[in-house]
Amino acid sequence: MKKATKLSIAITTAFYMLCGCMGYASFGDFAPDNLLTGFGFYNPFWLLDIANAAIVIHLVGAYQVFCQPIFTFVEKWASQRWPESKTITKELKIPMPIRGFRPYKLNLFRLVWRTAFVMLTTVISMLLPFFGDVVGILGAFGFWPLTVYFPVEMYIEQKKISKWSSRWICLKMLSMGCLMISILAGTGSIAGVILDLKVYKPFKTTY
């Protein structure tokens, strides 16, 4: 698991650094958010289709990772808040037309709540044409605490690293450096959103 994690982080870091550094070195502030269509070309179309399909597969999986805890929390809270409600607690067994498969358990509240949540998030995403800047803000705010601060603090606590030792100082410097990067990235993304709002039109995107 450790080897797989190291390899995946190394590949992801190299890919993002190449895209970010080479894009900025080539185009500066005019580097587009969408590297596939931001330059005004749509050929070869099959390459763009493959890339978009890969993005869909990636986002479907990522969406589940973020949403399943929210779904579970709300459904657990609702069942504890209204334990006698059949709409929330009762599960309907729907027989499957194929032999050998168990009946599908359907909960009405789960169906309505999850459908409404997905529809709401979809509408909100359609209202935000400046996708890159919004993702930049979320990434900047989530990068330091989740990716750097908490892992570093847990590592220090687990390894019992003494304060003001060379390793402790290096880890703290790494954490503070990443914090500064997150602040700068968040500031730049907020500035981008402010500029985008000046020409903002709902449910419309610009290419």
Higher pLDDT, 170 or 49: 170
Is 57's pLDDT higher than 80? yes
DSSP 127: T
Percent of the chain with pLDDT strictly greater than 90: 6
* Separation CA 202–CA 128 (nearest Å): 8
Q: What pLDDT, on a 0 to 100 scale, did the predictor assign at position 169?
A: 92
* Separation CA 200–CA 195 (nearest Å): 9
Q: What pLDDT, on a 0 to 100 scale, did the predictor assign at position 41?
A: 64
Q: What pLDDT, on a 0 to 100 scale, did the predictor assign at position 198?
A: 77
Model confidence band, residue 40 (pLDDT cutoffs 50, 70, 90):
low
Distance of CA 134 to the CA centre of its chain: 11
* Separation CA 183–CA 179 (nearest Å): 6
User: How far are the Cα atoms of 15, 55, 84, 108, 139 from residue 61, in angstroms, in the given order?
Assistant: 20, 10, 34, 24, 17
Is 202's pLDDT higher than 80? no
Q: What pLDDT, on a 0 to 100 scale, did the predictor assign at position 37?
A: 65
Q: What pLDDT, on a 0 to 100 scale, did the predictor assign at position 173?
A: 92
Q: For 102-114, what is the mean pLDDT?
A: 85
Q: pTM for the whole thing?
A: 0.60
The per-residue pLDDT of the chain, averaged, comes to 81
Listed ranges 93-107, 125-139, 149-163; the one with the highest mean pLDDT: 149-163
Q: What pLDDT, on a 0 to 100 scale, did the predictor assign at position 204?
A: 64
Higher pLDDT, 193 or 131: 193
Higher pLDDT, 24 or 53: 53
Of the given ranges (20-29, 33-42, 83-92, 176-185), which has the lowest mean pLDDT? Answer: 33-42
* Separation CA 31–CA 26 (nearest Å): 8
Output the DSSP codes for 4-72: HHHHHHHHHHHHHHHHHHHHHHHHGGG--S-TTTTTS---SHHHHHHHHHHHHHHHHHHHHHHHHHHHH
Higher pLDDT, 82 or 33: 82
Is 116's pLDDT higher than 90? yes
Q: For 41-66, what is the mean pLDDT?
A: 79
- Tell me the pLDDT tens digit for each residue of 156-188: 888 888 888 888 999 999 899 988 988 888 888
